[in-house]
Amino acid sequence: MSKDTSKKPVRSNEKKLINKAVLPKHLQHINKMAAGIDIGSKSHFVAVPEGCVDDCVREFQSFTADLNELANWLEYCGITTVSMESTGVYWIPLFELLESRGFEVLLVNARHVKNVSGRKTDVLDCQWLQQLHTYGLLSGAFRPAEQVCALRAYMRQRHMLIQQMSSHIQHMQKALSQMNLQLHNVLSDITGETGMKIIRAIISGERDPQQLASYRNYRCKNSLEIIQRSLTGNYRDEHLFSLSQALELFDIYQNKIAACDEMIEKQLSTFEDTNKMDVTNLKKQSIKKKSKNAPRFDVRSHLFRMVGVDLTVIPGIEAYSALKIISEIGLDLSRWKSSKQFASWLGLCPGNKVSGGKRLGSKSKRTGSYAASAFRMAASTLHHSQSALGAFFRRLKFRLGAPKATTATAHKLAVILFNMIKNRVEYVETGADYYEIQYREKLIKSLNARAKTLGFNLVEIAT
């Protein structure tokens, strides 16, 4: 008969171990005086630990006086740290107020705390946030320093103005097409020097195609005769009215962007100098076509003064692209332990979706990061670049397609920029030939190893 071990007595040393057992670190009360706030457009629900006050959940309106009352109540309860969801832009006033009052505030991604047990209500949401934060299971979203936040606000405002301005460029093009003025077919950009002179002349009352074509810049690819033929159309009053209004709105946005550039330059001047070298020692770059939407001041000198290294030597990274990235991530990169974690935060790494030992997918995570978009845009411009990154991008594009090649090259750009800023090292360009030689040696080594497993030896053929 088998021996019954179900009621085996517990030894004395085993009893001691059971008595000394403690909860794992992730289940201990790490933040005992933590509060959770469910953000709303009209009101906020706040939960504090039980025992602080009789009513541990309260609702506060979103008016400024109520937000001050909320902060006073948290101080009365002895709260030291607060967690809140990033709901729209409604969290910003409360976040800034609590941070100025000395609270440690964690901004939490709503997708990370959405599994609320039971029915979903505002009260349960704030209590769930408070409970998770008490056990230290929440991590705050990245938010740069106040100085960088102001720069980021100006840059995003500028980006919004450019987007709004582009719609009025389409309105001008539509009005010209309705009058059968084929200006967009003979000019690469109707908002260039030639296009704007012609449009302003049309608004002023000029109708002679020969006179309008005389505004052609010498750099235009199409001849004077072709441009003249494109300017023969049916000038109707309603379409001219639409064209004049679109042009007026375009000019307004141009002025607003110029005003935004002044504020950006003013904000950049507040950053501390980290480079002892004079900006006049910057190496002259090869002449490139300046972006039409680039700021109207010397961005490269400001970046060199702030960062300490010249970020524009990275292939694909222009001064404006570097400025957009700096405005999003700041200059203090200690938040990320390594360049790998930085690239993962940007969403530029393959996914790792595994279940039951089987890989279900490797798609990169979706992200709305402006910095990631800037890296992807920079990577997509490397198709014709005679650099190591350009050769890498072309090879991956041929093998995997443009989307994956763009993400992989953007990952390399992010790692390079991270190391340059954090370690203050210059970028050294090896060239496309060096990359091709490395790739060839790597391929030969792989073929040799594969041939040996099959019992063969590779022999190089003299050419």
Domain locations in the chain as residue ranges: 25-134, 147-268, 279-429
Q: How crowded is the C-beta side of 168, counted as CA atoms within 13 Å?
A: 19
DSSP lists the bridge partners of residue 30 as none
Q: Which CATH superfamily, name and number, covers 25-134?
A: Ribonuclease H-like superfamily/Ribonuclease H (3.30.420.10)
Compute the distance between CA of residue 360 and CA of residue 402 in angstroms, rounded to an integer: 22
User: Alpha carbon 313 to chain centroid distance?
Assistant: 21
Please tell me the predicted confidence (pLDDT) of residue 428.
85
DSSP lists the bridge partners of residue 35 as 82
The residue to which tokens 């750009």 are assigned: 413
Compute the distance between CA of residue 348 and CA of residue 356 in angstroms, rounded to an integer: 25
DSSP string, 49-88: -TTSSS--EEEEESSHHHHHHHHHHHHHHT--EEEEE--T
Positive or negative torsion for Cα 189, 194, 200, 204: negative
Cβ contact 339:419 at 8 Å: yes
Regions of the chain where pLDDT drops below 70? 1-28, 114-119, 275-290, 463
The angle subtended at Cα 267 by Cα 377 and Cα 303, nearest 5°, is 50
DSSP string, 385-401: --SHHHHHHHHHHHHH-
Cβ contact 409:379 at 8 Å: yes
